[in-house]
Amino acid sequence: IDEAIRSLREISNNLSPHVLNNFGLVHGIKNFVERVGAMHDREIILRTRLQDERFDANIEVILYRVVCELVNNSLKHSECQRIIIELNRVGDNIVVEYRDNGKGFVVRDMENEGMGISNIKSRISSLGGKIRLDSKPAGGMSAHIEISTNGSILHLAEDLHEQVYGKRYGRKKSKHSAGR
């Protein structure tokens, strides 16, 4: 297992610049998913409506590395059997929906444990993006990431997120929004 993890990290680091520079984000992630899937007995699904769209090189590199880190963490720690990655464009934003069906964790406990989650949050923040992690023991984990492609800082619309995903993340409805 340790050798597989070392190989996975090596592949991830080796693929990033070449694939992204020549083919873009979708092809880079697709290539990574295919190689990792061949090395592990787990199902990794990539769903996207994007084709050959290209984005700012910094956005592509950071999103690629974040997805690789999420996959590596799931394979190393979660005991999952399935990983689903959805990558799409919504208006001027790139949206990544990531989830696994692993053993889950308490998000607050993991933020101080190791560098993985803090590195992911830092990378997304460096682009002015937003990330929400959701997990609980025995419930898998999910991540919702949004990055603006026009360079503006994102402010996720709680109401839109609630309409799409059916729940709010950590905030109680105010008296003003209770009647909506």
Element (H, E) at 179: none
**What global pTM score does this model have?**
0.76
What separation in angstroms does the CA of 166 have from each of 125, 159, 160, 177? 25, 10, 9, 15
The pLDDT profile of the chain, 180 residues, written as one tens digit per residue, is 888 887 777 666 555 567 778 889 999 999 889 988 888 989 999 999 998 899 998 999 999 999 999 999 999 999 999 999 999 999 999 999 999 999 999 888 776 666 688 889 999 999 999 999 999 899 999 999 999 998 655 544 444 445 555 554 443 333 333 443
